[in-house]
Amino acid sequence: MASTKKIVIVGAGPGGLTAAMLLAHRGFEVEMFEKEDQVGGRNAAIRLDGFTFDIGPTFLMMKFILDEVFEESGRKSSDYLDFIRLNPMYRLHFSDRTVDMVDDHEHMAEIIEKHFPGNTDGYRRFLEREKVRYDRMYPCLQKSYDKLATYLHPDFLKAIPHLSLGRSMFDQLGEYFNAPNLKICFTFQSKYLGMSPWSCPAAFMIIPYIEHQFGIFHVTGGLSEISSAMAKVVKEQGGKIHLNTPIKSLVIENGTVKGVELESGDKVMADQVIINADFAYAMTNLVAPGTLKKYSRANLMRKLFSCSTYMLYLGLDKIYDIPHHNIVFSRDYEKYIKDVADHRDINQDISVYIRNASVTDKTIAPEGKSNIYLLVPISNNKSGIDWSQRKEFRDTVLKTVRERTEMKDIEKHIVVEKAVTPNDWENKYNVFLGATFNLGHTLTQMLYFRPRNKFEELENCWLVGGGTHPGSGLPTIYESGRITANMISRHYQVPFTSMNLQV
């Protein structure tokens, strides 16, 4: 019986919570262990003097995946969460113009004609062509790739002509647009994967298509409310969540994971263990040296990892009349992104993402005040930069915001602030090399060649999260949790209903 099988989950991030919801609903005994005092991992909240900030993700794409996960757990997401579709999706600041991006296709065509005359036909081709790519690729991303033979599945064979192998996202946009800044409007999304538009595979053109086709959403209270809602469902289904309970190591016998050892020294045994911690951190800290070969520390250091981020969370005593999401591009965006990728120190010409969520959501700041979230893509800790000695970078970020947006007096209105650097990502949040978006999403680190949901080096061990298949970003992390839950259910021949039957 399913109820006699115990599943232990290391970490209560969005991937682990997804798997926990589904498995608990199917009758498994689920027990989660989270080192922090709240669930969510990087999808949790920072609370400072009445202000609530999302630590990481700030908007939801592909909302239908989250809806499906709740439905497969016997629940409705709308009973737990209040979703707000955002328009404009974001405002983009270039050195010579400001462009609002919307998900209404006719309105978007008008905006393109205004700012980049002659490119509206290319926008329509983008929608038509990328829909085909999305339709072919999405079923592929739902498969497990635990076997190389998955590449022979008819779905994957149909997708091959649409992968644009050898081309980057920026290259691909040349088929639609002739204006460089317009290409950036549809390729900056590669930063969601911590990659450069000039090196990110063209297959990921599905990301801007998904935004323009399905829109992006805010959740009242912040995106961290999703994690809280998922945890509530886990508990309603009989699952247990232990907060403030860090894991010391996996309990491994003859290559098989038998359970976990807590920092307290207690051992919790299980039939299967799901790792929701940062993948490379887990392999180098929760597994004894010499246990792994393919994913030894030496081999992991040879992998390509994403960039990191410098964060400023600001509570202001003022609300600015600017959109919910804003991006300020450096004047030489290509050079900036390449400097980040090559681990070079960056100068004053930086790019900054600004979330001004208080214009949409009054619950995340005291009345009359606002919550501002600033993110700057920077090199991961392979750069060797000592961020404890880079206090002046805060001034560079705020100077950029002052000079390039309507927030001219922002510093006068700061009442509370917190910075998070690559050092913090690595040391406080246990993110390997401070690489916020995990392993890079190159073709040699995707699908079968990414760490698999059924971990190939240890028995009874499973992976969820951005470091495993299908990759980073909330929707794909939810999908990783669903793939893993479905595989475990099938392993024990437990019947279930799922909208992802691709595994």
What single letter denotes the amino acid at residue 101? Answer: M
Q: What is the DSSP string of 93-106?
A: E-SS-EEEE-S-HH
- Burial (0-12, 13-18, 19+ Cβ within 10 Å), 227: buried
**Taking the chain, what is the end-to-end CA distance rounded to the nearest angstrom?**
22
Domains in the chain: ranges and CATH: 2-83+221-302+438-491 (3.50.50.60), 104-214 (no CATH), 307-433 (3.30.519)
- Burial (0-12, 13-18, 19+ Cβ within 10 Å), 80: middle
Report d(CA 351, CA 371) in Å as an integer: 20
In sequence order, the β-bridge partners of residue 305 are 439
pLDDT of residue 500: 66
Which residues have CB under 8 Å from 447's CB, separation 6+?
140, 145, 150, 151, 469, 470
Question: 14-25 vs 63-72: helix axis angle to the nearest 10?
Answer: 30
pTM above 0.75, yes or no: yes
Q: Where are the alpha helices (DSSP H) in 92-142?
A: 105-115, 120-141
Helix (H) or strand (E) holding 72, with range, is: helix 63-72
Pairing of β 308-316 and β 370-378: antiparallel
Dihedral angle computed from the Cα positions of residues 94, 95, 97 and 100, in that order, rounded to the nearest 10 degrees: 20
User: Which CA distances in Å does 325 have to 13, 50, 100, 216, 223?
Assistant: 24, 22, 10, 11, 14
Instruction: Return the structure tokens found at 26.
Output: 């199917």
pLDDT of residue 1: 43
Helix (H) or strand (E) holding 349, with range, is: none
Report d(CA 324, CA 384) in Å as an integer: 34
What single letter denotes the amino acid at residue 454? Answer: K
pLDDT of residue 502: 53
- Burial (0-12, 13-18, 19+ Cβ within 10 Å), 180: middle
Instruction: Return the structure tokens found at 333.
Output: 């965006």
pLDDT (tens digit, 0 to 9) for every residue of the chain, 503 residues total? 445 799 999 999 999 999 999 999 999 999 999 999 999 999 999 999 999 999 999 999 999 999 999 999 999 999 999 999 999 999 999 999 999 999 999 999 999 999 999 999 999 999 999 999 999 999 988 989 989 999 889 989 998 988 888 899 999 988 999 999 999 999 988 888 888 899 899 999 999 999 999 999 999 999 999 999 999 999 999 999 999 999 999 999 999 999 999 999 999 999 999 999 999 999 999 999 999 999 999 999 999 999 999 999 999 999 999 999 999 999 999 999 999 988 888 878 999 999 999 999 999 999 999 999 999 999 999 999 988 888 899 999 999 999 999 999 999 999 999 999 999 999 999 999 999 999 999 889 999 999 999 999 999 999 999 999 999 999 999 999 999 999 999 999 999 988 765 55
